[in-house]
Amino acid sequence: MRIVVRLAEALGAESLLDVSGAHIDSCLFHGRASLDFAERLVEEGAEVAVPTTLNVSSLDLLHPDLFRGDAEHGRLAARLMDAYVSMGCRPTWTCAPYQLEERPAFGEQVAWAESNAIAFANSVLGARTDRYGDFVDICAAITGRAPAAGLHLDENRLATVVFRLGDLPPDLLDSHVLAPVLGAFLGHRTGSRVPVVAGLEEPPGEDWLKSLGAAAASRGSVGMFHVVGATPEAPTLEAALGGRPPVEEVVVTLDDLRRARDDLTTAARDTLATVSLGTPHYSVAEFGRLVEALGGRRVHPDVDMYVSTGRGVLAEVEERGWAGKLQEAGVQVVTDTCTYVTPILADTVGTAMTDSGKWAYYAPGNLGVGVVFASTSECVESAVAGRVVLDELLWAPAGERFGDG
């Protein structure tokens, strides 16, 4: 409670508020200090006071042979996982707790860590959480209290920056790849402010919004975003802004998006060693699109293809018979963790490819691997071909795409 109170003082909060749930990022092993903190809590009899889920860990307990790290590191990581479970946390091991059957309702106050989950909870669910990090998250879960500050409060949830989509090619507007690229762009331009996106003709689904939020939270410090007509606190642009004029208004052009896409690529575009999907963890719907895109084909023998997901989603994928098809195709499913935080990749020298703006942003620094960012379909075609295959026409102006420019 002293930690929660000190945080409240630092944030200038006048009071604490009750939270009805928490999501913990501290279960990901970052060194001995994280383990010492958790085990001290356990020794003192700490138990969570609210339903609490756990973020990705440093191990895939269902596929332990995938771990390529130091054995002692793995042993300590397992101890950390055990410590959080012993405090009453649910062993969900997913960065996408919003894909679980039980998730926060609109207006519900929670204390979530994990940047993409925070953005999704605030933006898509309309629940309320500030950006919590390691140690504070479990303190809030144990006390059931959090500072009445930040995105918990009405006034801090209003948009201040408007992003209007300019004249973009219809095929790009309809493509899922727009979401992570747009997210990376607005995250870079927004920082920690609250942005609102205007100009989409049709409201996108949750997977699209998930990808946008994950990239925005990684490339910037976005804890909440609005999409007019799609997110619950933005039925109109005026509602998202709270009737106030924006501090900044940005027209998003095709050139802006091309640069944002190119910034996510750090490797040569010919050879290919790895394809990594599922950051944040893939949903059932995303697995369905992956199976359809593969169409019964096999991944090239020179390419390792990984898809990360949560245990609950994997169970559904298995029930639908997709897990067997993916295994036959040469796709390795990863659970409990993510391939950019845990040493799983067999090859970190060759080029890696991903459809995730978050993975593309973090993997070069975490793993030292060169990355090519692309759409899911481009990733699949590349995995099958054994080389990088890109559809540049998707990013061409409409006139050039149809041959009349």
Q: Is 327 exposed, middle or buried (0-12, 13-18, 19+ CB in 10 A)?
A: exposed
The CATH superfamily assigned to 2-153 is: Aconitase, domain 3 (3.30.499.10)
DSSP codes of every residue in 109-156: B-EEBSHHHHHHIIIII--B---B-TTHHHHHHHHTEEES-GGGSGGG
In sequence order, the 6+-apart residues with CB closer than 8 A to the CB of 199 are 164, 165, 166, 228, 252
pLDDT at 97: 98
The pLDDT assigned to 400 comes to 65
| Residue 392: CB atoms within 10 Å | 9
Please report, in tens digits, the pLDDT of each residue of the chain (405 residues total).
Answer: 999 999 999 999 999 999 999 999 999 999 999 999 999 999 999 999 999 999 999 999 999 999 999 999 999 999 999 999 999 999 999 999 999 999 999 999 999 999 999 999 999 999 999 999 999 999 999 999 999 999 999 999 999 999 999 899 999 999 999 999 999 999 999 999 999 999 998 999 999 999 999 999 999 999 999 999 999 999 999 999 999 999 999 999 999 999 999 999 999 777 899 999 999 999 999 999 999 999 999 999 999 999 999 999 999 999 999 999 999 999 999 999 999 999 999 999 999 999 999 999 999 999 999 999 999 999 999 999 999 999 999 999 866 654 444
Please state the separation of Cα 83 from the chain's center in Å.
25
User: What's the pLDDT score for residue 271?
Assistant: 87
Order of strands across the sheet that contains 226-227: 226-227, 195-198, 161-165, 248-252
* CB 132 within 8 Å of CB 237: no
Write down the pLDDT at residue 404. 41
**Distance (Å, whole) CA 9 – CA 246:** 29
**C-alpha–C-alpha distance, residues 76 and 225, integer Å:** 37
For residues 197 and 268, the answer to whether their CB atoms sit within 8 Å is no
- Token pair of 20, please? 């009805």
CATH fold of 274-393: Aconitase; domain 3 (3.30.499)
Gap between the terminal Cα atoms of the chain: 64
Q: Buried (b) or exposed (e) across 82-98, using 16+ Cβ within 10 A? A: ebbeebebbbbbbbbbb
pLDDT at 405: 40
Q: 190-224: string of b/e by CB count within 10 Å (b at 16+)?
A: beebbbbbbbbeeebeebbbbbbbbbbbbbbebbb
Within this chain, domains 2-153 and 274-393 share the same CATH topology: yes
Rounded-to-integer distance, Cα 4 and Cα 220, Å: 25
Contacts of 329 (CB under 8 A, 6+ apart): 294, 296, 297, 298, 299
The letter for the amino acid at 109 is: Q
CB 204 within 8 A of CB 171: no
198 forms bridges with which residues in the sheet? 164
Whether the ω angle into residue 280 lies within 30 degrees of 0, i.e. cis, is yes
In the chain, domain spans: 2-153, 158-263, 274-393
**Chain-centroid distance, C-alpha 133:** 15
CA atoms of 137 and 314, how far apart (whole Å):
26
